[in-house]
Structure 1
Amino acid sequence: MSQSSLWQLHTDTGDFAELCNALYQREISLIAKGDFSSAQSVQARLESLSYYITRTAHAMVTVIAQGHSPLLLDTHNASWSAKQGKQIPLSGQETEQECANIINWYLQKDIYVGLVVPVLLADHIIIDCIDRIDLDKQRIRTNVGGWFSLTIDELMHKGQETNKRLLKPNKKIMTSACTGHCWQGNNKQLPIIPTLRELLLSCSINWKNFKKPLAI
C-alpha cells in the first residue's frame, strides 16, 4: 500500500477526526489565553495550526495501527495513557556510576541533532529533542531544556539545583514523558497534557531502539 493510500486510510477513520477535534479545541484555547506581542504572531500561529494538528493526528493513529507504540491512545483527549507508577521513574539515573552511563550514552557517535530525548522538569518528564551538540565542551542543547553539560558533577548537582535534568531514555521514562505523568513527592498528581509538539515527537519514538526514530 502506498504512502498516500495509508494517509487516506487513516484520515478516513473516526479516531483521526476525534483527535483533530480535540487538538483544535485545546490549541485554540491556548492561543486565546496566550500573551502574544502582535496580531501577526497570532496569525502565524493560526496559519500553521491546521498542518501540525493534521500531521500529529495522522501520526498518532498510524503508530497505533502499525503497532509501534505500547501506549494507549485516548482520542477524546488527544493524548497517550498508561498506568502511572507510585514514584517518578528515575531508577538507574541517580548514582555517580549511573550518571556516567548517561553521559556515555550521549557522547556516542550515533547521537544527532533532532533525536528525541527525555528531560526532567521538577515533578514531571517532558519529551524534548536535541538541537545542538558541542562535543568540544561536552554539552548538549535541547529545544526546551536548553544546555546540559555532560559531566558527572553538573549532571548530579546542578540538575538538583535547577530542577532540570537530562535523562537517558528507557521505556518507563519515555512512557511517563509521553503520558504527562506528574508527581508531588511520592503522590501522584493529575497528568500534564503534552504539548502539540511533544505529541508529534512522541510518534517518532522507536521503543525498540531509542537512537533510531521512526519516520513520521
Structure 2
Amino acid sequence: MEARNTDKQQGTIWQDEASRLVFAELVNVFYTREISRLANELDHGRLKKKLASLPYYIERAATHIVLGDVPLQLDSHNGCWVATQKKIPSQGLDKIHLYYENKAEVGLVVPVVVTQAHETSLCIDMIDQVNQSQIHCNQFGWFTLDGQGVHSSDLSLLRPTKALMTAACCGHRWHYHKIVTPRVLGLREMLLASSINWRNVTKRKLVSG
C-alpha cells in the first residue's frame, strides 16, 4: 500500500507548481555539481558508466527530496539542507561500543567523523557488513565496535542521533574546533539521507514493498 501511495505522490510532483520548481532547481544544481566532479575522472570507461547512470540517480535524489523523505530545511537553489551548526560532536567510546555491539545491522545509515589537517567533517555512510568485532561501511571501510577506523586514524564512527544525522546531512565541519562553511554533499550522500529512519535514527529504515 505504501508503495502505491508513493507512486501517487510522485505523480503529483508535476501537478503542483511549487514542487515542479523545487524539482527543476534540484535537478539543475545536481547536474552542475556532478558534471564538475566527473571532469576529474581520468578513466574513460568509468566516466562513461557514471555518465550513463547519472540521470537516474539525479532524478531519484530529487524525487526523494521533493516527496519529503528528509525532514530538514531545504535550500533547493543550492541543492543542500541547512540547520544551525553547533560545536564539534563528541561521544564516549564505551557508549559507542555498547550501541554497535547490540544495534549494528546491514542497511543502517551512520555518522562518520573525518579528521584531516585540523579539519573535522561529519559524513554519512551505510553499513554493509557486520561481524563479531568489526563493522564495514560502504564508502569508509572497516571500523571497530567502538568506532575506530581500522585502516585510518582519520576516521571514526559515532552513535547515530538525530542531531548528528542532521549535522552530517547539512555538511557541518570545523577547523581547529571553530565552525566553518559547510561542505557540499555529493549525490550519493544526498540519496543516503533519504535512507535514514528519521523517526528513530538508531534503527534501520524498513522499506515497504
Structure 1-normalised TM-score?
0.83
- Tell whether the 8 Å contact from 1:103 to 1:150 is kept in structure 2 after alignment: yes
- What do residues 151-201 of structure 1 show as CA deviations (whole Å, max 9, x unaligned)? 5xx74xx78x81211110112211110000111023211111111111111
- What do residues 65-96 of structure 1 show as CA deviations (whole Å, max 9, x unaligned)? xxx51x211101111111111x2122xx1xxx
Q: Structure 1: where are the runs of 5+ without partners?
A: none
Q: Which residue of 2 aligns with 1:177?
A: 168
Supply the AA of the counterpart residue of 2:7: S
- Tell whether the 8 Å contact from 2:169 to 2:190 is kept in structure 1 after alignment: yes
Q: Which residue of 2 aligns with 1:121?
A: 114
Once the two structures are superposed, the pairs formed by residues 132-151 of structure 1 within 5 Å of their partners are 132-135=129-132, 138-151=133-146
- What do residues 16-46 of structure 1 show as CA deviations (whole Å, max 9, x unaligned)? 11111110110111111x1322x22111000
Determine whether 1:47 maps to 2:52. Answer: yes
RMSD between superposed Cα atoms in Å: 2.1
2:179 is paired with a residue of what secondary structure?
strand
- Tell whether the 8 Å contact from 1:204 to 1:215 is kept in structure 2 after alignment: no
2:27 is paired with a residue of what secondary structure?
helix
2:13 is paired with a residue of what secondary structure?
helix
The alpha-carbon deviation at position 134 of structure 1 amounts to 1.4
- Tell whether the 8 Å contact from 1:72 to 1:81 is kept in structure 2 after alignment: yes
The alpha-carbon deviation at position 214 of structure 1 amounts to 5.8
Change (3 A) 1:77 1:215: farther
Measure the CA separation in 2 of the matches of 1:4 and 1:187: 44
Identity %: 38
Q: Structure 2: where are the runs of 5+ without partners?
A: none
2:67 is paired with a residue of what secondary structure?
helix
Whichever structure has more helix as a proportion of its residues is 1
- The runs of at least 4 aligned residues of structure 1 exceeding 4 Å deviation read none
- Tell whether the 8 Å contact from 1:139 to 1:150 is kept in structure 2 after alignment: yes
Query: Quick one: which of 2, 5, 8 aligns to 1:2?
Result: 5
Structure 2-normalised TM-score?
0.85
**Count of matched residue positions in the alignment of Structure 1 and Structure 2:** 195
Q: Which residue of 2 aligns with 1:88?
A: 88
